[in-house]
Every structure is written in C-alpha cells, then in structure tokens.
Amino acid sequence: MTAKSFSLSLSFSLLALAVPVAQAHVTLETPVAEAGAPYQAVFRVGHGCNKSPTTAITVRLPQGFVSAKPLPRPGWKLDATPTAVTWTAGSKEAALADGTRADFVIAGSTTRGARPVWFKVLQTCEQGSLDWADVPAQGTSTAGMKTPAALLQVMDARDFALAKALPKVEAAWVRGSVPGQQGTGGFMRLIAREPLQLVGAATPAAGIAEIHEMKMEGDVMRMRAVDKVDLVPGTPFELKPGGYHLMLMELKQPLQKDTLVPLTLLFRNAAGAQLKMELQVPVSMQAPGAPAGAATEPHKH
Ligand SMILES: [Cu+2]
C-alpha cells in the first residue's frame, strides 16, 4: 500500500463532535472521553443566575460515569451521595460572583460503549437557581434549549483519537442580522492541537457558508473566499471582523441576538482525514467580552 492510498482511505473517516460554546451555560471543559477509561469531569461555571452569585452546584451522576470522586473546593462544603455531588459555598465571600469562572471537578471513569452521557447540573444562587437539565429527545443537539445539560461524548478509541485532534474553540459568536440582510459574519478563536486545515463551514441558518479573508490592498479593504487555512498547533488562529472570518450568506431569516446558531466546521488533518465539528454559536452584536456599547466594525460584504 502506498502512502497516497493510505491517506485516501482515511479521508472518508468523518467525525462529528458537538461542542457547546455558549458562555452562560455550565459546560464540561473536555466534552469528549474514551469509553471504559478514566475521565476527569471539569464543570465550568462562568455566570451566576441572572447576575446573582452562585452559592451551590449539584451534579447528578449519570449512568455511564462510575467511580466518581469529587474534588473538594476551598471554602466550599462537599456532599457526595452515590447519585449526586453538591458543593456549597461556606460563606458569602466564597460564593462565585457573576462573571467569575470556576471549575468543579469530579474524577471518575466512563463505562464501555460509545454514547452521549448527560450531566444534569443544578446551579443555586443567592437569588434563584438554574437547572441545567434539558436533554434532547434524540441526538445531541441542544439548539434552542434554554438550560441544556452538560454533554459528554463518550466514544470508542479510534473516534476519541480523532476528536482529541480537533482544535479548541474560544469566544465564538455570529453577528446578529436585521430583516432583509443577506449576509453576516462568524468569528472565533481556534487553537489547534495538531497540524490541521480549516477547509469549510456549513450552517442550516444560511444557504452559503464560506471562509473569507479580508485584507487591505492599497487603500481598499478587499474580501475573498479561501478554500482552506492552516492551523498551527498551539498558535491561536483568529476569525475576526476585519480579518479571516466565516461568511454566512443567503440567510434564511434574521439572526437574533442571544439565540444560538448551529455551525459545522470542517477540518482536514495531516493524514488527509476529514474531521467535522458541530458548534452552537451565540448570536451577538459584538465580540464576547467586549465592553458594552463598544463599536465593532460593521461587517460589510
Ligand atoms: Cu466576508
């Protein structure tokens, strides 16, 4: 077998991985795991309940995740039963202010067999609570759900190896659009773990999704479609207004602020295998973390 035919046979392997990006949700730091292997569940909490500080986190332990050993958190009380783990802030000072990112960790193992495992997480705040417990009737898309459970994709060894190759996604957003607007942009930071190429994008929200590059040529800003961009391991690649971006055209309807848009990214690895990553990207009028009211360049096509 020649090297070429080897890479061709690999090019048909396709992996879909859903990665939630919405910042307000309770998510798993690493949403993929190998079946029948140790897995450290790191629950990431970044927001309170409507700005109210978080005072307790309860994780219901799902089937498919065993030998759970929660890690204590300084200043918080830990209660563990065979079915749930609760951390409770020991004082007002220990409570998590809205916008403070914190991790709650449970070491354990996955059981055998590839499947989605949903962790339901109750977030209790000084005022109110949020129960991150919505699970789709089928599939793994949490699009449109207000309080989705945290999803862990448990996969066999081969798929897991591919999934680990997918880049990390940070600060993803799609710019909202108004009625009649044909196109908009998608932005994020991609951090590759191994050499990869971003080779395409797709979304049910738009007829066409392309990778675009924006560049000054003399005094003129020009935009053109590119068929691939190289991602260098460890070097953040920015898709941002005024630079490389995802262009969504033939929008099927206006994209409303604070909704989620399903977005699929296609990558190719060094062996020629195609990897597919499915994201739920928040719609916003500005980059996440930008000061309120900060003017970002309108995306013109
Ligand atoms: Cu564009």
Q: What is the mean pLDDT of residues 43-61?
A: 94
Q: Tell me, in angstroms, the distance from the centre of ligand 1 to residue 242's CA.
A: 9
Q: Tell me, in angstroms, the distance from the centre of ligand 1 to residue 214's CA.
A: 7
Q: Tell me, in angstroms, the distance from the centre of ligand 1 to residue 141's CA.
A: 27
Handedness of CA 297, 280, 237, 104 (dihedral sign): positive
Q: Tell me, in angstroms, the distance from the centre of ligand 1 to residue 173's CA.
A: 15
pLDDT tens digits for range 30-48: 888 999 999 999 999 988 9
Does the pTM surpass 0.85? The reply is no
pLDDT band at 256 (very low <50, low <70, confident <90, very high): very high
Domains of the chain: 24-163 (2.60.40.2230), 166-284 (2.60.40.1890)
Residue recorded with tokens 């005072």: 55
pLDDT tens digits for range 206-236: 999 999 999 888 888 888 999 999 999 999 9
Q: Tell me, in angstroms, the distance from the centre of ligand 1 to residue 299's CA.
A: 8
